[in-house]
């Protein structure tokens, strides 16, 4: 059985795709027993690819470790009865059907809380359980577009930019996990609702707050940051680097590193507000210097002055770096470890389940523990 700080919890997981499975995987990493309920077709993410490894979708593998899989057709009364038996023993239930579907299937909050009043029930959706947009299909791509994320991430007057990973889904999974762990502290059952649009807007709070209080649309900054100068990606003679100076002391050292100690004494560049007002001129001067340096030489000069900086790496270069070896776990497939570290608990990683792999063992467990 799993070990970890949540090893006393049973999670009934009715989710599929990304946000819900990512949330339940994090709970499983911390020791919770997670029973993944799949219909006979299985989680659609099982078929997302390429790439595939030994017929496994790497996408599915990335967010479903440490779980057991049971196949239940919830439209079948006997299978629904099994789901309800599981709910009676669970501490947590999570679903991400379109609003209203879980209730119609007989596994909504009202139905399951009537069986288990202490159940913490989390509903994940695209646009919330109620409201004008609640019935819209809510996928990560759509949320990135509708939230303003794509527009704000573009270069000035450039093409909208999608994040390289499902950022709305992942953030929603994180917020759902946080809410569930908070609800556990209350000591009684309750309903939690988390949506993709709410989660991405919450994460975009610096941009959203600026607009809400000024009415000014955030600028499209692309590889730059709208509030701090310099703080962006720069092109060197042979490659890109990222570097930034969030305070004046760092800017002084930055200027020294690039051979221009006079920059901080220039009234145009003396403070961050003045650097923002004269962003174009300062960035042009910085780029002129960096265009004559290789990325390695530029990074060496900046690192010598303890300036925050890094090469713009590929994912492969990052994951092959020995400095990050502790972030990778091997359970028959190599994947990224849970980011938290505990002094007295250790995550217990297991291979993701095949569709229905644990159906019989779960049914046997229910029968053997019936009435206990």
CATH number of the domain bearing residue 189: 3.40.50.10540
* Cα 77 to the center of its chain, rounded Å: 36
SS3 328: strand
CB-based contact 99:125 (threshold 8 Å): yes
pTM for the whole structure: 0.93
Residues 64 and 135 in one domain: yes
Chain-centre distance of CA 99, in angstroms? 22
> Strand, coil or helix: what is 248?
helix
Domains: count for the chain: 2
195 in any annotated domain: yes
Tens digit of pLDDT at every position of the chain (372 positions): 457 899 999 999 999 999 999 999 999 999 999 999 999 999 999 999 999 999 999 999 999 999 999 999 999 999 999 999 999 999 999 999 999 999 999 999 999 999 999 999 999 999 999 999 999 988 999 999 999 999 999 999 899 999 999 999 999 999 999 999 999 999 899 999 999 999 999 999 999 999 999 999 998 999 999 999 999 999 999 999 999 999 999 999 999 999 999 999 999 999 999 999 999 999 999 999 999 999 999 999 999 999 999 999 999 999 999 999 999 999 889 999 999 888 888 888 999 999 999 999 999 999 999 876
Residue tagged active-site, from 43, 140, 169, 198: 169
150 three-state secondary structure = helix
**Do 99 and 186 fall within a single domain?**
yes
Burial of 222-246, coded b for 16+ CB within 10 Å and e otherwise, reads bebebebbbbbebebeeeebbbbbe
Tell me phi and psi for residue 195, to 5 degrees.
-125, 160
180 assigned to some structural domain: yes
Q: Are 150 and 218 in contact (CB under 8 A)?
A: no
Q: Are residues 362 and 244 in the same domain?
A: no
List the domain range (segments joined by +) for residue 148.
10-203+326-368
Please provide the DSSP assignment of 39-60 as one string. -TT--GGGG--S-EETTEEHHH
264 and 140 inside one domain: no
Which has the closest alpha carbon to 57: 354, 359, 357, 331? 354
- Asked whether residue 101 is domain-assigned, the answer is yes
125 C-beta neighbours (distance < 10 Å), count: 27
Q: Any catalytic annotation for residue 169? A: yes
Three-state SS at 271: coil
Same-domain pairing of 284 and 339 = no
Same domain (yes/no): 173, 57: yes
Verify that 250 and 342 share a domain, yes or no.
Answer: no
| Domain assignment present for 222 | no
């Amino acid at each position: 059985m799993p070990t970890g700080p949540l090893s006393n919890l049973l999670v009934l997981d009715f989710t599929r795709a990304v946000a819900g499975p990512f949330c339940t995987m994090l709970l499983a990493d911390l020791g919770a027993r997670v029973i993944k309920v799949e219909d006979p077709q299985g989680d659609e993410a099982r078929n997302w690819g390429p790439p595939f490894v030994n017929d496994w979708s790497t996408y599915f593998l990335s967010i479903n470790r440490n779980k057991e899989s049971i196949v239940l057709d919830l439209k079948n009364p006997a299978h629904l009865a099994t789901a309800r038996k599981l709910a009676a023993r669970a501490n947590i239930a999570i679903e991400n059907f379109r609003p209203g579907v879980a209730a119609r299937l007989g596994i909504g909050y009202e139905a399951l809380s009537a069986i288990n009043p202490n159940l913490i029930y989390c509903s994940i959706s695209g646009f919330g359980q109620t409201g004008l947009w609640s019935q819209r299909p809510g996928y990560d791509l759509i949320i990135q577009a509708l939230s303003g994320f794509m527009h704000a991430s573009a270069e000035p007057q450039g093409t909208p930019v999608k994040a390289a990973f499902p950022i709305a889904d992942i953030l929603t999974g994180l917020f759902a996990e946080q809410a569930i762990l908070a609800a556990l502290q209350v000591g009684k059952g309750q309903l939690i609702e988390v949506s993709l649009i709410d989660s991405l807007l919450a994460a975009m709070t610096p941009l959203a707050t600026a607009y809400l209080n000024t009415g000014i649309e955030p600028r499209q900054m692309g590889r730059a940051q709208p509030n701090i100068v310099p703080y962006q990606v720069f092109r060197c003679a042979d490659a890109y680097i990222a570097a930034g100076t969030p305070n004046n002391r760092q800017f002084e050292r930055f200027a020294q590193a690039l051979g221009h100690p006079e920059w901080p004494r220039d009234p145009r560049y003396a403070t961050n507000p003045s650097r923002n007002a004269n962003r174009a001129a300062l960035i042009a001067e910085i780029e002129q210097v960096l265009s004559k340096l290789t990325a390695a030489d530029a990074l060496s000069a900046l690192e010598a002055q303890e300036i925050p900086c890094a090469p713009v790496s590929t994912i492969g270069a990052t994951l092959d770096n020995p400095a990050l070896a502790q972030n990778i776990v091997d359970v028959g497939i190599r994947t990224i470890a849970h980011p938290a570290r505990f002094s007295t608990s250790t995550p217990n990683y297991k291979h993701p389940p095949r569709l229905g792999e644990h159906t019989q063992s779960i049914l046997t467990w229910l029968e053997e523990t019936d009435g206990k």
